[in-house]
Amino acid sequence: MTSTTTPVWFITGCSTGFGRQLAHAVLARGWRCVATARNKASLAGLAGEVDKAGEVGDVAGRLLTIDLDVTDARQIGSTVEAALKRFGAIDVLVNNAGYGYQAAIEEGVEAEIRAQFDVNVFGLFAMTRAVLPTMRARRKGHVLNITSLAGLAGYAGSGYYAASKHAVEGWSDSLAVEVEPLGIKVTCIEPGPFRTDWAGRSLKQTPNRIADYAETAGKRMQVTAQSSGTQHGDPVRAAQAMLSITEVSDPPRNLALGAGALDGGTKRLHALLADFDKWRDTSLGADFPEGGK
């Protein structure tokens, strides 16, 4: 493929972590990339990083960096227009922008909860709505929504973060059904613990502390803060995994990344099925009797 026929990836939240590694991997593959961040100055070294690795030439010609705050509807629109003007298409949208907020449910601060949903949920919704028309017109495209193991299972101290990711999971189920006949694929990426600076840069913790939650939410918040840099997940390998699923005709609807996500997600799903099975008669008893009115 030439530089004008390679896939175009549009990635939100590229200043650090998964977003940056994914942008690097896309460019190193010889593909084109729209890399966004709230301050695109943080992306100034991206092309140089790929060039330095000596992987593929003409990186600058295949890279467009743009300021983007996904909570700003006008900025979303102008960013998509700029991407289409530069490259003519968007083949893969990666909704990566987002952050964590930890608090026991009772400790949650209303303004912080709403701010997180504005980014993790409503910003993702708006971003996808802005890109879908061009994918729909071409009858092709792939939407990757970066959720989390927390999108499948809730843990102490992560209720509001989990709620934001559960929202994206459910929304993605509906989106996938709607766009599949139009040639558009949808995948939820569910990472477990990865060795990024997420805990140091992209995680907020409540200043409110209630003693009764010290051994549940409080302990988990402490462990999360202390584990940064020791996680088993490799963001470089995660980026390669995400690239690989866009090259197949039948990509997964859900992709757990890392042993932590696979194990935690599997346990949660087995527990759900066990409850369904145990309470099957009660569930069926809620219907009218067969032949009843």
CA distance 78 to 203: 28
CA distance 12 to 98: 9
> At CA 176, angle to CA 172 and CA 182, rounded to 5?
145
CA distance 186 to 171: 11
8 A C-beta contact, residue 109 and residue 212: no
From the list 18, 26, 34, 74, the residue with the least C-alpha distance to 50 is: 26
Q: What totals of helices (H) and strands (E) does the chain contain, helices first? A: 11, 9
Let me know if 161 is a catalytic residue. yes
Taking the CA atoms of residue 25, residue 26, residue 29 and residue 31 in that order, the dihedral angle to the nearest 10 degrees is -170
Catalytic member of 99, 101, 160, 161? 161
SS3 content of the chain, % helix, strand, coil (to 5): 55, 15, 30
Residues carrying an active site annotation: 161
